[in-house]
Amino acid sequence: MSDHDLPLILGIETSCDETGVGLVRGCELLGESVASSVEQHVRFGGVVPEVASRAHLEAMTPTVRRALDSAGVKLSDVDAIAVTAGPGLAGALLVGVSAAKAYAMALDKPLYGVNHLVGHVAVDQLEHGPLPKPAIALLVSGGHTSLLLVNDLATDVVSLGDTVDDAAGEAYDKVARLLDLPYPGGPPIDKAAQRGDAKSIRFPRGKWGDGTYDFSFSGLKTAVARHVEDADRRGEPLVVADIAAAFQDSVVDVLTRKAVDACVEHGVSTLVISGGVAANSALRTLAEQRCREAGITLRVPRPRLCTDNGAMIAALGAEVVAAGLPPSTLDLATDTSLPVESPLAG
């Protein structure tokens, strides 16, 4: 079967504050569009679920239209609809699933409720082609930090470890607030860190060498807060660049070490890093170095595909369809805590 004969999948993503729509055939991204409501959340220092849900509702139809235009296809050309059924914010998920059901009914096409987390891994195929089996995936975002053994994107994903408290991206946001840097915290901390000395402060490495693949960043966040409080009490100016660099060094050190260790232990030669924090320059640099030293192939999607988008949901939908899995029913429910071991919801 040629790529042109593969089904055209429309993917819809609304798990948090991005309304994403993508169109995919196999491993080819034909078009996409993303509408973000992040600016509406800045003054709150985090995502407000009700605001995000309203933004999704307003953005859905025009975002679908832009994605279709960018792909040069009509809605009637679509062969199946894939949508994020979880995990995510309850109201935000409901908007996306409701829209997907409406499109599926109007077009008389199959509907597939899929897993947001596995979508972050599947999107790499749009950049680098089919994923070797098995692969290890390090998923790092604002809400999730997980190590996964991916035997098959559609049917066999195993969780090796997860964060026991704050996700890495969440820690970035909280530390940015401590340093009076803008929200979301990832990009400004990354930028500030490039001017700082990561060795000037030794922050703790959560769950370092504990024999698990779990993560913890709450203690690191607290250590940064104590450092800021101590400097303020002594009347010393904060060297923001050094604090940012030392904080980031701690985060990426633990992430990359555990990811490479997982590859070595499981005899896997391919590591995928995905999620919004995968756009971080220090994480990419250290991962490249450690993977090269260990003889592991590193795959990281381009930054636009790391953040939430509809292309990743369409990419996972394409895998589910290719695997011949049954479509979801029209009473598909959202699941705010859908486990990563369930690529297909329901």
Mean pLDDT of 47-51: 84
Model pLDDT, residue 3: 61
Shared domain for 88 and 167, answered yes or no, is no
Q: Report whether pLDDT(37) > 90.
A: no
Shared domain for 284 and 141, answered yes or no, is yes
Q: Report whether pLDDT(1) > 60.
A: no
Q: Is residue 254 part of a domain?
A: yes
pLDDT digits (tens, 9 = 90+) for 319-338: 999 999 999 999 999 999 99
Shared domain for 202 and 318, answered yes or no, is no
Q: Structure pTM?
A: 0.95
Number of domains making up the chain: 2
Q: In the predicted model, what is the mean pLDDT of the chain?
A: 95
Model pLDDT, residue 284: 96
d(C-alpha 70, C-alpha 128), whole Å:
21
Shared domain for 36 and 93, answered yes or no, is yes
Mean pLDDT of 224-236: 96
Kindly give the pairing relationship between strand 145-152 and strand 156-162. antiparallel
From its phi and psi, is residue 267 left (phi > 0), alpha (psi between -120 and 50) or beta? Answer: left
Q: Is residue 74 part of a domain?
A: yes
Q: Is residue 341 part of a domain?
A: no
Q: Is residue 116 part of a domain?
A: yes
Handedness of CA 266, 269, 274, 277 (dihedral sign): positive
Q: Report whether pLDDT(120) > 60.
A: yes
Q: Is residue 108 part of a domain?
A: yes
Q: In terms of C-beta density within 10 A (0-12 exposed, 13-18 middle, 19 or more buried), how is residue 108 classed? A: exposed
| Domain of 163, in residue numbers | 133-301
Shared domain for 189 and 172, answered yes or no, is yes
For residue 141, name the pLDDT band (cuts at 50, 70, 90): confident
Q: Report whether pLDDT(112) > 50.
A: yes
Mean pLDDT of 174-180: 96
Model pLDDT, residue 49: 80
Share of the chain above pLDDT 90, in %: 91
pLDDT digits (tens, 9 = 90+) for 250-275: 999 999 999 999 999 999 999 999 99
Shared domain for 155 and 85, answered yes or no, is no
Q: Report whether pLDDT(344) > 70.
A: yes
Q: Report whether pLDDT(41) > 90.
A: no
